Amino acid sequence: MSVQLGLAMPQPGETITEGVVMQWLKKEGDMIKEKDPVVELETAKAVYDFESPLEGKLIKILVQPNETQQVGKSLAIIECDDEKAKKYLMFGVAVPLDNAPAAAAAPSTATAVTPAATTAATGTGAGALQYSPLIRTLAQEHGIPVGDLAKIPATGAGGKLTKEDILNYAGNKGGAAAPTPAVTVNTGVSGKRTEATAIRKRIADNLHLSKTTIPHAGSAVDVDMTTLMNFRNAKKDEFQKKNGVPLSFGPFFMTAVMEAIKQYPQANSFYIVEGAKHFIEAHDMINIGFAVGAQKGLMVPVLKNAQSKSFVELAKGVNELVTKAKDGKLSPDDLTGGTITVNNPGALGSTRGNQIIVYPQAIIVGFQKMVERPAVVNGKVEVRTIMECDCSFDHRILDGVEAVGFLEAIRNVLENPEKYFNTI
């Protein structure tokens, strides 16, 4: 006996409420096995191939390319074996054909966020674990204690609170009113408007949240990269032949950042506000996000547990994530859970710059272009390869003296490659 079910739109992260179908990888009438790539989806975090959690026959496609569907609602109708259908409904990866959201809809195994990533992304405060950074920040701005969030009627998928829920609750209490509806702006200049993609909107929301929540401060030091350049040039051919990946500067930068964290562990932390209480939440795990230019815009994949990896493992991990980013194959899990971020605008030719912190992290480090400059070495003027290393930091967590010390620690590593990279 067979049963027709709805293939549920997955929820790859707790802040995701909807997704856009980019293209179907299967057609009506096709037989589908579990973990078969069935549809390419765009969410606010990534564009990725969604692997079907169901096995059966694709009867009807309900959401066409470029159409949006809410988390937990049906993307397509799949005809499944009766016994398997019961399992699919129980685990929330399928929905009845009335298109109602599945109770306690869980992310599918193809896109589930790991517990470590979720903890790092949302904090571990006892009262705040179930709420996203956006919800916690909105609650703080409107004077709503974390303990009161459970009283607010939630309208999001799977019983999640949404931005509108917080604003409506605040308005009913006589707090800050919800924002007025957006109006059409007449700029007086003709032009073509294109609606922002889900990823572009999410980037905009995150940047706005960071700049309006975190008191940014910045610092910079010059790093003499001459010795490291010569060191890398002498090693790169043998390294690639032996390990199958190029010897890029990324692993050098990440190693230097991790060495600096040993001296300044507060750089690998979050500032958490729960009602009237403020916490600095330090992390033992170092999950390094790094910026990559991709087809869909700037992406920040995260190399998890970097502190436990060898230099070669760092190089392979970076290469794998960069390849996935450029191929448009990053999963939501690849983009969540960062505890600190590095950026390499120097690869694009930038010699100076300001970074925007990835909320709710404490610091972002930028590595600028390496350029030849005159420098005094042992009383003599020489031509050296100099790079600016800069940072933006959360002034609630780090003071200026600590931020400068952090950058000085990075400089010390990069200027002494024989000491710190002698295992390559």
Domains of the chain, CATH where assigned = 2-95 (2.40.50.100), 115-178 (4.10.320.10), 215-420 (3.30.559.10)
| pLDDT score of 101 | 39
Which has the closest alpha carbon to 417: 259, 285, 206?
A: 259
**pTM of the model as a whole:** 0.68
AA letter at 312: V
Across 113-123, average pLDDT: 33
Q: Whole-number mean pLDDT of the chain?
A: 84
pLDDT of 20 above 50: yes
* pLDDT tens, residue by residue, 327-351: 877 877 888 899 999 999 999 999 9
395 is catalytic: yes
pLDDT of 178 above 70: no
CB atoms within 10 A of CB 348: 10
Q: Strands across the sheet with 302-303, in order?
A: 216-224, 380-394, 363-377, 340-343, 288-290, 302-303
pLDDT of 182 above 70: no
Q: What share of the chain is helix, strand, coil (3-state, %, to 5)?
A: 35, 25, 40
Of the residues 142, 148, 216, 395, which is catalytic? 395
Measure Cα distances from 80 to 59, 64, 97 in Å.
Answer: 10, 22, 13
pLDDT of 400 above 80: yes
205 is catalytic: no
| pLDDT score of 202 | 74
| pLDDT score of 132 | 62
| pLDDT score of 18 | 84
pLDDT of 138 above 90: no
Query: Of all residues in the chain, what percent carry a pLDDT higher than 90?
Result: 53
**Tokens 């070669």, located at residue:** 312
- 360 cis-preceded (ω within 30 degrees of 0): yes
Distance CA 189, CA 205 (A): 26
- Three-state DSSP at 366 gives strand
Distance CA 170, CA 248 (A): 50
pLDDT of 155 above 60: yes
Distance CA 364, CA 216 (A): 10
Q: Could you tell me which residues are beta bridge partners of residue 280?
A: 271
Element (H, E) at 286: none
Distance CA 209, CA 135 (A): 11
* pLDDT tens, residue by residue, 53-99: 999 999 999 999 988 898 889 999 999 998 888 888 877 788 887 54
Task: Decide if 303 contacts 154 (C-beta within 8 A).
Answer: no
Of the residues 30, 237, 327, 399, which is catalytic? 399
Task: Decide if 131 contacts 161 (C-beta within 8 A).
Answer: yes
Angle at 307 between CA 394 and CA 219, to 5 degrees: 30
- Three-state DSSP at 380 gives strand
| pLDDT score of 63 | 94
The residue with greater pLDDT, 8 or 169, is 8
Element (H, E) at 396: none
